[in-house]
Structure 1
């Protein structure tokens, strides 16, 4: 008759029932589903009292890029992980938990939904949201993958345990930070949620709060226990509507690959993997190994006596005895001189499925991975209930199957694979993770330095990636967006979003005044002093001098600029802003060679052919999306035009800062800005200053060689935590790999890659991505720049 546990509405003390187990003494059987959950109390701060003297705490940590890292980085991560393991002494029980379970699709959908607003763009929002939903469906069946570290100690009371557990937790945060992993402590409700999601149907919501608990008189187990358990089968069980099977890994191979754990975790099935790690006190471990060596030596002597009695060579010994003896001596040497410790390790895996046949298929799939590593995955016959207890993130291990491993042997189960990037709304979409097919959703504004670069060869999808991000930011935020467009590529998108396209050329009637000034231009008292940096760069570029202005020329220029801004500073209205003609007139009034030279430089921009910049600004820059089209400026004026637009954007950023608005600034063909010292230096200032003023500059370029040839590129890269790297020319790959510390495995994603494929750098995270935007959408038709599709 099946052994079943029904979930009850409250915890009660059932009458003990005895059960005869296979080759086991009689033991008490819990009567309710709640009693199967082997803990006493969970406190709001996350500490769990498992039994009378054992208390545990849990940490959730984010993954890091181990599998795609450089070999030397892998070695460093491995060594630091060994240090982490050696931190645990014999008084601390450790459990590593890896849970892949089907998430509620509604939760994902909520994260990517785009709320409609009272404007004209809801049709575009709906289409973009449908695109995200279709991309979400391509993911790994909606699996939620999470990683936890549970640690526990014995203590006389909760108060005593709390002090030491919190001290251990702080130490672990530091250790994980050194590995590059972000970690957070789980409070009581979060630990309950983890167990609830593991034990129940994926579509069942978790509802819990401590006030409700106190008022209801229920126990915490009532909120997480499934409807029932059925442990009738010898090597599987049922909980709620799911079938489950707990197995253990029998380690037979003399050597293991650091990819074994990863190969289990990339399975697209509901599963839970746990490693229980218990350190043995060093002196006890050494005594244990010495006793084993003594036993082996005794066996060796017995074999030699047999050989003498039988009349054959006494040096001929059983191969197993020779092997074990050598291994034991090597192990003893490691413990005594190589900073190794001895751990008792239990590796358990629990498959979960909606049907018995699916469960069997999942098990054979996992068993195949174990077999490929010369190991064996075996079901826990007649111990499924113990296995479930060991799988739960409680920190206890009732399964009596352990393998003694050294620190480095234990560390081969590296608990890191590759990172995911899925942040809640208002995160933007950046494609699919090429390794897991999961959505990449990120908010650049959360980065320390959200500045970015989009780089790739022609046809790799740079402009499309920029347009997709622009569209996404426009639809889900209230931020303002400015684009410098040297090739007239962005007008269709800007027009579709009812933005303003400003076309600046020699024959244009739309003007931008280079001497525009916002009184919030600087945090300093004198905004004109900061404006001088731009004016110096403008004059140096106009003069075509690579050596820059002479000191006497800068002095004369500074004197004149201070004078021409006086009317505006006294009465700050647009009509009082000076133009280049005012500066030119002031320079002519000074009878000095430097002034005459500077006036001559300005003459062509005031009265000559290039007087497009000698006007007051007459375009409406109040639109939240504005594109400066400078294609028709010509080669001579294009760099100057890009410099002027940079300064205009700086004015806009300072204005938006007061309104607490973010300003996105996209500069296509950015390599042009780094060719000249003056524009390069001013661009670096933009990259350094924008962050604290709420600006997010993004450089877009295909000429990576020109970009990297600039002396200023280091400053740009050092101040950019976001890089969207598409396919790269073979000559650029090696240079980029050196600048950005990219491994060969990572580099393969930008070598002969298709359009919309590459590497995403987000802070310390590097993720290979693939973005195949649906071509049948109206948005694609607006954003594409392919000649045959336009």
Structure 2
């Protein structure tokens, strides 16, 4: 290779020019020349009136993905996508995995429940918070792991750099999306806040970058530490100590699933940076050809020397032969796989409050690295330069770089396992891969519908009570409306001060399907009354048809029903003493009709007005003004089921309409839905609720005992597929296999479905699959409230010497 080509190869990893050759104060610590509001930084000064190419950078935050629990084939696809990203980079870039400190008060404010209203709820809040705190202790809640990508380019003007970054985002974002990660650029305020966390434990001032500039304050003063001391092997600023380390050499093999995730799996501030300089392919090929040529010359010289010494049987030395073989492999990789070349260096920053704590933290990092064959060395006498190189900026001030190809760079892929922690969301349990809490705010999902599927004893009812009833009741203003086919929720409903209605003719409950609200009944606006009748007509028509046994409704029946509904409400509204009409009034009007079909209608209604099914024949004595309303349907006969179901769903729609006017969410829960879905009409109503209610603030949840039963019905399959939140507990072999119809699961996730321990589950949240441990200590008061284990309740009853009112009501169906 010529001297110029060798120089071009080395120039690929050139340093950036320092903004301040000799910093005169702490404000000149960082190599940042200028900050633009959109987040583009100038890393080198413009000293030649815009004629010189200078460096600009931009930082992107990207989300983690579930990598560690994927199958080999899925990991390979992710690695191939990562290679595609690397091959698309023709400029210098850095990848950062940063453990950013968090204030525990902030963590608890986001995770713990704070609402206390109503008698007895304070104890429930305390019990829920105790459960959440137990999970927090198992992880590192004081640390928040972030992933950043810093990209640089050399341009003459800021406008040219901005155009380049826009083109880059268009090309790179789809690659990250193919890996199920999302790439988002950081504006100036977010970048300054991120840099602030490298030097300070306290929070970033609540100021936007624009207000910072308008006030005339120097942004440097908000970032840099208040005091600074640059020692030989560490940095001191304020009450913090930091040390920058690098890796001088790499082992032959590395496990791509462990490198960055293991190094940052610590409970203190730690930042690992992979600094990469792209080597253009023509320069890379020229370098490799030159090395190959030099090696061939050395081999020929060695062979000539052997011949001169009459050693004709000896071939080239092992080292030269191995070098030749490796070079040929590398050249094939570049040619056949279109791989890029990179200069790469790994830097790590570790922080501590005292020199002793810093030393202990550094030793921990070194031990983790040694376990993977990575030897971390202190960057002596270059701590400030190494810091600027490690930070999420485009600066490069130290050179510990070595060359490698794209396929080798995959060892430093930054993904491990996804966390879902949405402040203000519902606590579901512990992420088994990251040991962090799982908090999901269903109102922020694209589709708030959810389903819980699990065999009897797997913890399905427990999770339902813990999340959709308990926490929803305590921490939100949402109304909760529930269908309970097995009357299992009576005890919990009473504990929360809700209303439980056992729908059976012998209960003394009455529901008037023709009831008119007082504000409509006494309204002087005929249009409002017409709107009410139009809204009520569909329900009453469905109600009447549900009472027909052995008769298929036709167009004549529909005409009669609509005609009689209009007449019924006209008489009610224009009466001297307005009142809500009754089913008997409707039947009397039907008797007045001359059509023969009228006899079929009023004859079928007789059992509901004068017979044993007179639950709907009188004025309503059922008050559903509570926030928690549960309808127990265990004692509803088959002949009454459809009529009850239609009426209950109508009451729910009325409550939802009312709540919409209040901008209030309504949660609808159907427990043991496999029983409800045995009736085709009930299935249709549930599916209708799932499709339409979410548009009006409805959050629907259904519970099934097994997947195969749920997917056997096409309507139910549509319902489950229409859920952005799925909680899957212990499933048998056939049920696990049935899941492949609606979910793509890895072997590790598939095995998790066979975990027999209660509370062990998979949570599918949007496009993310989380392995969740929802176990609750039996000493927690919530266990006694939510547990449905008959034998445990009976044992407690015997020990306490009193009759547990719920012991006989919570047997497994």
Interval of TM-score (by shorter of Structure 1 and Structure 2): 0.7 to 0.9
The answer to whether the Cα contact below 8 Å between 2:763 and 2:771 also exists between their aligned partners in 1 is yes
Deviation at residue 47 of structure 1 after TM alignment: 1.5
Deviation at residue 591 of structure 1 after TM alignment: 7.5
State the match for 2:624 in structure 1: 621
- 1:295–1:123 Cα change, 3 Å: same
Task: Please state if 1:711 is matched with 2:714.
Answer: yes
- 1:396–1:695 Cα change, 3 Å: same
Deviations 1:126-173 (A, max 9, x none): 553454344433331521111111112112233332333234334433
Deviations 1:53-110 (A, max 9, x none): 2111111122122222344443333332222222222xx2211111013311121122
Deviation at residue 503 of structure 1 after TM alignment: 2.1
> Partners of 1:251 and 1:595 in 2: how far apart?
89
Task: Please state if 1:43 is matched with 2:36.
Answer: yes
> Partners of 2:602 and 2:87 in 1: how far apart?
72
- 1:171–1:678 Cα change, 3 Å: same
Deviation at residue 724 of structure 1 after TM alignment: 1.8
State the match for 1:155 in structure 2: 155
State the match for 2:231 in structure 1: 232
Deviates more, 1:711-720 or 1:145-154: 711-720
- 1:731–1:538 Cα change, 3 Å: farther
Deviates more, 1:222-231 or 1:476-485: 222-231
> Partners of 2:407 and 2:515 in 1: how far apart?
64
Deviation at residue 401 of structure 1 after TM alignment: 2.1
- The 5 Å alignment of 1:88-107 reads 88-89=89-90, 92-107=91-106
> Partners of 2:322 and 2:580 in 1: how far apart?
89
SS of residue matched to 1:299: helix
The answer to whether the Cα contact below 8 Å between 1:684 and 1:716 also exists between their aligned partners in 2 is yes
State the match for 2:413 in structure 1: 414
> Partners of 2:578 and 2:435 in 1: how far apart?
56
Task: Please state if 1:750 is matched with 2:753.
Answer: yes
> Partners of 1:283 and 1:662 in 2: how far apart?
61
> Partners of 1:170 and 1:453 in 2: how far apart?
36
State the match for 1:468 in structure 2: 466
State the match for 2:66 in structure 1: 65
The answer to whether the Cα contact below 8 Å between 1:537 and 1:678 also exists between their aligned partners in 2 is no
Root-mean-square deviation (Å) = 3.4
The answer to whether the Cα contact below 8 Å between 1:249 and 1:370 also exists between their aligned partners in 2 is no
The answer to whether the Cα contact below 8 Å between 1:173 and 1:183 also exists between their aligned partners in 2 is yes
Deviation at residue 666 of structure 1 after TM alignment: 0.9
State the match for 2:79 in structure 1: 78
Deviates more, 1:357-366 or 1:763-772: 357-366
State the match for 2:49 in structure 1: none
Deviations 1:342-375 (A, max 9, x none): 2222222223333445544544544444444444
The answer to whether the Cα contact below 8 Å between 2:485 and 2:676 also exists between their aligned partners in 1 is no
- 1:110–1:619 Cα change, 3 Å: same
The answer to whether the Cα contact below 8 Å between 1:176 and 1:183 also exists between their aligned partners in 2 is yes
- The 5 Å alignment of 1:305-320 reads 305-313=304-312, 316-320=315-319
The answer to whether the Cα contact below 8 Å between 2:533 and 2:566 also exists between their aligned partners in 1 is no
Deviates more, 1:697-706 or 1:603-612: 603-612
- 1:473–1:280 Cα change, 3 Å: same
Deviates more, 1:35-44 or 1:246-255: 246-255
Deviations 1:303-335 (A, max 9, x none): 222332344356533333222222222222222
Deviation at residue 471 of structure 1 after TM alignment: 2.0
State the match for 1:387 in structure 2: 386
The answer to whether the Cα contact below 8 Å between 1:102 and 1:144 also exists between their aligned partners in 2 is yes
State the match for 2:668 in structure 1: 665
Deviates more, 1:532-541 or 1:113-122: 532-541
Deviations 1:457-497 (A, max 9, x none): 22222222112222212222221111112233323332233
State the match for 2:188 in structure 1: 188
Deviates more, 1:157-166 or 1:468-477: 157-166
The answer to whether the Cα contact below 8 Å between 2:342 and 2:403 also exists between their aligned partners in 1 is yes
Deviation at residue 578 of structure 1 after TM alignment: 6.2
The answer to whether the Cα contact below 8 Å between 2:454 and 2:460 also exists between their aligned partners in 1 is yes
Deviation at residue 727 of structure 1 after TM alignment: 2.2
- Return 5+ residue gaps in structure 1 as ranges: 1-26
> Partners of 1:643 and 1:373 in 2: how far apart?
63
Task: Please state if 1:446 is matched with 2:444.
Answer: yes
Task: Please state if 1:736 is matched with 2:732.
Answer: no
- 1:151–1:243 Cα change, 3 Å: closer
Deviations 1:217-243 (A, max 9, x none): 553222111244444344x44443224
The answer to whether the Cα contact below 8 Å between 1:564 and 1:578 also exists between their aligned partners in 2 is no
Deviations 1:443-469 (A, max 9, x none): 101111100011212222222211222
State the match for 2:680 in structure 1: 677
- The 5 Å alignment of 1:420-435 reads 420-425=419-424, 427-435=425-433
The answer to whether the Cα contact below 8 Å between 1:565 and 1:577 also exists between their aligned partners in 2 is no
- Return 5+ residue gaps in structure 2 as ranges: 1-19, 46-53, 521-529, 794-806, 808-813
> Partners of 2:102 and 2:432 in 1: how far apart?
20
> Partners of 1:571 and 1:185 in 2: how far apart?
65
Deviates more, 1:565-574 or 1:319-328: 565-574
SS of residue matched to 2:714: coil
- 1:485–1:278 Cα change, 3 Å: same
SS of residue matched to 1:250: coil
Deviation at residue 722 of structure 1 after TM alignment: 0.7
> Partners of 2:187 and 2:157 in 1: how far apart?
19
The answer to whether the Cα contact below 8 Å between 1:639 and 1:672 also exists between their aligned partners in 2 is no
- The 5 Å alignment of 1:93-492 reads 93-116=92-115, 119-120=118-119, 121-200=121-200, 202-203=201-202, 206=205, 208-210=207-209, 213-214=212-213, 218-234=217-233, 236-240=234-238, 241-248=240-247, 250-254=249-253, 256-313=255-312, 316-425=315-424, 427-469=425-467, 470-492=469-491
**How does the TM-score come out when normalised to structure 1?**
0.86
- 1:257–1:62 Cα change, 3 Å: closer
- 1:32–1:582 Cα change, 3 Å: same
> Partners of 1:733 and 1:531 in 2: how far apart?
43
SS of residue matched to 1:478: coil
SS of residue matched to 2:272: strand
> Partners of 1:603 and 1:320 in 2: how far apart?
100
Aligned length: 751
> Partners of 1:100 and 1:577 in 2: how far apart?
65
> Partners of 1:365 and 1:542 in 2: how far apart?
73
Deviation at residue 285 of structure 1 after TM alignment: 1.9
State the match for 2:693 in structure 1: 690
- 1:126–1:315 Cα change, 3 Å: same
Deviates more, 1:278-287 or 1:248-257: 248-257
SS of residue matched to 1:316: coil
The answer to whether the Cα contact below 8 Å between 1:250 and 1:378 also exists between their aligned partners in 2 is no
Deviation at residue 408 of structure 1 after TM alignment: 3.0
- The 5 Å alignment of 1:482-561 reads 482-513=481-512, 553-561=553-561
> Partners of 1:246 and 1:593 in 2: how far apart?
93
Deviation at residue 193 of structure 1 after TM alignment: 1.3
The answer to whether the Cα contact below 8 Å between 2:94 and 2:275 also exists between their aligned partners in 1 is yes
Deviation at residue 29 of structure 1 after TM alignment: 5.4
- 1:575–1:387 Cα change, 3 Å: farther
Deviates more, 1:690-699 or 1:243-252: 243-252
SS of residue matched to 2:150: strand
Deviations 1:710-737 (A, max 9, x none): 1223311221001122222333222124
> Partners of 2:366 and 2:125 in 1: how far apart?
46
